[in-house]
Homo-oligomer: A and B are copies of this chain.
Amino acid sequence: MARKSGSHSEITGPRIRTEARRLFARHGFAAVSMRQIAAAVGLQAGALYLYTPDKESLLFDLLKGHMDELLAAWAEVPAAASPPEQLEAFVRFHIRFNLERAEAVFLSYMELRNLGPDNFAAIEALRRAYENELESILRAGQAEGCFALPDTKLATLAIIAMLTGVNTWFREGGRFSRAAVEQIYWDMVRKAVAA
């Protein structure tokens, strides 16, 4: 046996990333073997090394890709006029985007410790860049007097933790629609930061 009929790297590459993301999210990076990923795609383990130099690089590509897309998607959200409107846009965006990519979100803060120092620093920098987007909104609102926060950095982390927590319990077809969840969380955030 050798090359399979209908095989193309533009198809196999994404499938490897999809299956790796699914398996890493479900069982954890360290608990998933290259052979499991290969089997999920329908390959032998050796074939994976045509697409990634090693296992950690495969994880890093998933995390890097997710963070890049997160920042790019937020950059495309039209800028609102006032800090409260900007904050509402951020809250709704964060919940919506994270629910659409639950596996990648899960990975991006559960499996960071499996990266080497350089890769770790790269993902951390992107995460901080995203946090800074929220913090600059809070600082602007603070300066205008429409928010009352003892510390904007701390409020940033508190809000993001609360919003990301949605991923741990939300299930499609449950008691709340995504739109309803957005509204409820926005109400809580709005009140929490209010002057």
Contacts and interface: CB of A to CB of B under 8 A. Distances in A.
Interface stretch (A59-67, A71-79, A117-125, A186-194): A186-194
B114 A31 contact: yes
B192 A154 contact: no
Contacts of A157: 165, 168-169
A150 B187 contact: yes
A166 B159 CA distance: 11
A28 B114 CA distance: 9
Contact of A165 (B151, B161, B181): B161
**Interface size class, chain A:** 35 or more
For this chain, the copies found in one complex come to 2
A92 to B, nearest CB: 15
Contact of A155 (B29, B159, B160, B188): B188
A164 B181 CA distance: 20
A30 interface: yes
A37 to B, nearest CB: 15
Given A114-B28, A158-B162, A161-B165, A192 B184 contact: no
A30 B113 CA distance: 12
A110 interface: yes
A-B interface, 6 closest residue pairs, ranked by CB to CB distance from nearest: A161-B165, A30-B30, A30-B31, A162-B162, A192-B192, A188-B192
Interface of A: 26-31, 110, 113-114, 150-151, 154-155, 157-162, 164-166, 168-169, 175-176, 181, 184-185, 187-189, 191-194
11 contacts: A28-B30, A28-B113, A28-B114, A31-B114, A151-B175, A151-B184, A154-B181, A158-B165, A158-B185, A189-B192, A191-B192
